[in-house]
Structure formats: C-alpha cells, structure tokens
Amino acid sequence: MPALPALDSFDLAILDILQRDNTTPQRAIAQAVHLSAPAVQRRIQRLQQTGVIRANVAVIDPEKVGLPLTIMVEVHLENERPDRTAPLRSRIAAEGAVQQCYSVTGEADYLLVVNVASMADYEALTRRLFEGDDNVRRFRTSVSLGCLKAGLQVPLGGGGPA
Amino acid sequence: MPALPALDSFDLAILDILQRDNTTPQRAIAQAVHLSAPAVQRRIQRLQQTGVIRANVAVIDPEKVGLPLTIMVEVHLENERPDRTAPLRSRIAAEGAVQQCYSVTGEADYLLVVNVASMADYEALTRRLFEGDDNVRRFRTSVSLGCLKAGLQVPLGGGGPA
DNA sequence: TCTGAAATTTTACATCA
DNA sequence: TGATGTAAAATTTCAGA
C-alpha cells in the first residue's frame, strides 16, 4: 500500500460525498467539487489504493433481516496479556453476530456490539464466547432501545444462529 | 416505503455480497447467485426501496483522515423523559464527531462512539455536549486501544474541530 | 483537460410459472 | 399477476492523446 500524500480539501470533499453515497456518479462529484470527472476518478482510485477508503459497502438494516436486537457487551478480564486474551479474541472473530469489538481503557477491557434475533440467541452467544474462559472475569449487558446514529454491517447466516 | 415481502435466499445471498463490496458488478453477482443480471438489479432496487439496504457508503479509515482516537462514552441521565433528553439528542445529532449513539438499558442511558483528532478535541466535544445540561448526571470515558471488528462513517470537517 | 472505447447499469419486451 | 431471461439503449467508467 503506497504512502498517503496528505489529503487536500478536494479529497476531503470527495470522501464526504462517497461516505454518504458511493453510488454518486463521478460526473456529479466532479461538478460538486469543481473538478473534471477524470480528475475525480484519479483521486478516488488513489484514495482506495492508499487505504483511506477501506471498503465500499451496502449498509443493511438489522431489523429487516431478522436481527431486531442490538446489544452492547462490556467484558472485564483477569489479565490483558495477549497470550491470555488470544482465545477470546479468536472466538469473537468467528462470531458473525459480533458487529464491532473494541479494546478499551477504563473499567472494562473489551466493548462489543452484537446483533441477534432474540435474547435466547444472545444467551447462547455469551455462552459460546465466555463460558469456560477463566480469563473472563465478568461481562455487563446493555440492550439498545434504539439508535440515534449508526451504520454497520450485519451477518446473514454466516455467523451464529440467526 | 413499501412493505417488505419476506426475503428469500436469493435476496440474502445478494445482500451478503453487497455488504462486503457494493461495487461488485451485477453480472458477477448474477453469476454467483445463479440469476440473470436484470433479476439481480430488480431485487437490489426493491431491497433499497423497502429499506433493507439503508445506504451505500464508502468506509473511511479514521486514522488516515486525521482522527486517530476512537472513544466510547457512557452517558448517565437524571431523567429519561423525551422532553428532558431532547436538547442533548439534538446536540449529539449536530456533532459530526459522534459516529454512533445508542439508547441503552442498564446502568447507563446512552452509549456514544466518537472519533476525534486529539484528547483536547475530545474534551471540547464533551463540554459542548454535556456542560450546562442539568439532565446529564455523569459520563464515563473509555478510549479505544484498537478494534478487532468495525466499520463506520467518519466526519470530514462537517462536525466539530478536526 | 478533453475525447473515445469498454464496461456497466438500466430499460423494454417476450416467456414461463 | 408476478418474476425471469434475452436483447438493446443509455450512462458511466476508464484509458489514450
């Protein structure tokens, strides 16, 4: 991946459009940012090659694909050493229902955002993730009542039981 | 928005491709799911009209646009009544740095995920969001040390100080 | 930057369930 | 009636000058 040569205001303007709607024709983008269409095309290509644009994806409504529950899980560990956390991280990576997973400072060690079809599925998920792992001290569950802002991906039969 | 007529396995297969890469040519999708390109096109159009596909976006790497810090904020309120929370929700909506905001059950009332350039910017953000709001009892900050899974949007000069 | 070729998306129409 | 497939038209993307 090539080094990224400092983004200028044109790049930022293009990114701002693409992150809202990446189906916007380059011609329309060109007009909006006052550049020619080929210039826009060159910049987009470079933004992708340098990894500024990490991916182009469709955002799916979890509710409409049978996953009405969004749940936040705070995980508290005994030990943060990589070799002690590796098994858990591996299980997290394997669970499609886990949309996001951050390693964090503060009281908790991990914060997960998961999408599931039911509380029964959620309980099964927590058993698969945490049960029998001595390094997991405890976890705290917060069920989402709705989101004011969000945009992420959804597992479609690829992960745990949907 | 028309009612959604139960997704079949074709729809799920198409969604599974699009949520990974929505630049995949319809011809390639058609071949993968064993349908014709126009059939795929019609299904995609219907998925968008029914809101199953909420948006088509470019995923931007926050670090590469000058926002290296991802921070989780738990907000504890005095009162959850909509008329008491409306001002805060309005400020949250206006801050581009706030990537995600969920209303949650449990100890906290809101969970925010924000992207900022520096801790100074973060402190300025918390002042704008919380200072002077009697309904905000307290908030708890967790700085992300890295994410194992994630995909979301980034503010590009539209929100707070970048 | 502009122009032209290649590819893709989109539409129209006939067919089948 | 609704959905699919084939073929053609309109855009868009991409390479060359």
Residue type, B65: V
The CATH architecture of the domain made up of A62-143 is 2-Layer Sandwich (3.30)
D11: residue with closest CA to C1': A25
Q: Are A140 and B106 in contact (CB under 8 A)?
A: yes
pTM of the full structure = 0.86
Q: Is the pLDDT of residue A160 over 70?
A: no
A99: Cβ contacts below 8 Å, ≥ 6 apart: A113, A114, A115, A152, A153, A154, A155, B149
pLDDT at A161: 40
Sign of the torsion formed by the C-alpha atoms of A29, A33, A34 and A38 = negative
Q: What are the sequence ranges of the domains in chain A?
A: 9-49, 62-143
> Which range is least confidently modeled, A22-31, A120-129, B4-13, B114-123?
B4-13
pLDDT at B149: 84
Contacts of A157 in chain B (CB under 8 A): 12, 16
Question: Which one is predicted more confidently, B4 or A101?
Answer: A101
Name the phi and psi angles at A11, rounded to 5.
-60, -45
Q: Are A32 and A17 in contact (CB under 8 A)?
A: yes
B45: Cβ contacts below 8 Å, ≥ 6 apart: none
Q: Is the pLDDT of residue A157 over 70?
A: no
Q: Are B115 and B62 in contact (CB under 8 A)?
A: yes
B51-108: pLDDT as tens digits: 999 999 999 998 899 999 999 999 999 999 999 999 999 999 999 899 999 999 999 9
Nearest to A118 by CA among A70, A60, A64: A70
Using CB atoms, pick whichever of B57, B140, B145 lies closest to residue A19. B57
Contacts of A98 in chain B (CB under 8 A): 149
Verify whether the Cβ–Cβ distance A16 to B148 is below 8 Å. Answer: no
Tell me the C-alpha distance between A52 and A44, whole Å: 10
Q: Is the pLDDT of residue A2 over 70?
A: no
CB contact, 8 Å: A150 with chain B?
A: yes
pLDDT mean over B143-160: 68
pLDDT mean over A108-117: 95
Mean pLDDT of chain A: 90
Verify whether the Cβ–Cβ distance A106 to B141 is below 8 Å. Answer: yes
pLDDT at B69: 94
CB contact, 8 Å: A6 with chain B?
A: no
- How many residue contacts between A and B have a Cβ separation below 8 Å? 215
Q: Is the pLDDT of residue B120 over 90?
A: yes
Tell me the C-alpha distance between A9 and B118, whole Å: 20
Residue by residue, DSSP assigns A40-97 as HHHHHHHHHHTTSEEEEEEEE-GGGGT--EEEEEEEEES---HHHHHHHHHHHHH-TT
pLDDT mean over A87-116: 94
pLDDT mean over B141-157: 76
Q: Are B48 and A84 in contact (CB under 8 A)?
A: no
Verify whether the Cβ–Cβ distance B89 to A148 is below 8 Å. Answer: yes
Q: Is the pLDDT of residue A162 over 60?
A: no
Q: Is the pLDDT of residue A32 over 90?
A: yes
* Residue of B74, B109, B149 to mutate, testing the A interface (most A Cβ within 10 Å of its Cβ): B149
Confidence label for A150 from pLDDT (cuts 50, 70 and 90): confident
Confidence label for A4 from pLDDT (cuts 50, 70 and 90): low
Q: Which of A2-16, A37-51, B146-160 has the highest mean pLDDT?
A: A37-51
Tell me the C-alpha distance between A139 and A124, whole Å: 14
For the record, the structure tokens of A138 come out as 């405890």
Is it true that B9-49 and B62-143 share their CATH fold?
Answer: no
Q: What share of chain B has pLDDT > 70, as a percent?
A: 90
Residue type, B47: L
Domain B9-49 has CATH 3.30.1490: no
Tell me the C-alpha distance between B17 and A36, whole Å: 31
pLDDT mean over A18-46: 95
D12: residue with closest CA to C1': A25
Q: Are A10 and A44 in contact (CB under 8 A)?
A: no
pLDDT at B5: 73
